[in-house]
Amino acid sequence: MTLESVMFYVLSSIGIASAVLVVTRRNPIISALWLIVNFFCLAGLYLTLHAQFIAVIQILVYAGAIMVLFVFVIMLLNFRDEHTLFERVTWKKNVAAGLGLAVMMEMIYIIMTAAYPSAHYFSRSGYIGTIENLGVQLFTKFLLPFEVTSLLLTAAIVGAILLAKKKMD
């Protein structure tokens, strides 16, 4: 077993455990902290795949900016009535748990029956995650979706500004 395999199993098990803790914690701040742990585990998994740029962006954007936004939203919600945080177990939660168990069993079946790729499959893996390859792919093969996304984000920003301006007037 190689070091990459060991790191994959360690990071994936910590990631799965932290994801479970995100959805099972009753305190939203504690849940957000476990989500940060999950983001760092995901960045580590990207590093084991030789995708250095994606790992750095994962930490900067998600563990940094998005989590700050989540914590601000949690603080603005102001849970004064703590009874709203605690709910009884209903039939919906039981159905959700059953469906989650079914999906987990399907994933285990897929992993157990999957054929492992040969070594030549990973020959270019060191090049795929680099910034150079990402830039070449983004501005050649995926130029139209990139530009459409930039236009949609610009329209969303303009719309948010107009909505905020109307509420202030």
Q: What is residue 141's DSSP assignment?
A: T
DSSP state of 27: S
User: 12-23: per-residue pLDDT in tens?
Assistant: 999 999 999 999
Query: To 5 degrees, how large is the angle CA 44–CA 40–CA 35?
Result: 145
Summarize the confidence of residues 140-163 as an average pLDDT.
89
What pLDDT is attached to residue 75?
Answer: 77
| Residues 31, 85: Cα–Cα separation, whole Å | 13
**Which tokens go with 67?**
């989590």
pLDDT tens across 151-162, in order?
998 998 888 888
Distance CA 134, CA 8 (A): 23
Enumerate residues 6+ apart whose C-beta is below 8 A from 24. Answer: none
In a 10 Å sphere around its CB, with 0-12 CB exposed, 13-18 middle and 19+ buried, how is residue 32 labelled? middle
For the segment 49-99, what is each residue's pLDDT rounded down to a tens digit?
Answer: 888 888 888 898 888 888 888 888 777 776 665 555 566 667 888 898 899
Domain ranges, ordered by start, for the chain: 3-129, 130-169
Residue with tokens 């500004």: 161
Check residue 2 and give left, alpha or beta (phi > 0: left; psi -120 to 50: alpha): beta
Non-local (6+) Cβ contacts of 15 within 8 A are 38, 41, 42, 45
What pTM was computed for the model? 0.58
Residue 31's contacts (CB-CB under 8 Å, 6 or more residues apart) are 21, 22, 23, 25
Task: List the CATH code of the domain at 3-129.
Answer: 1.20.120.1200
Assess contact for 63 and 39: CB atoms under 8 A: yes
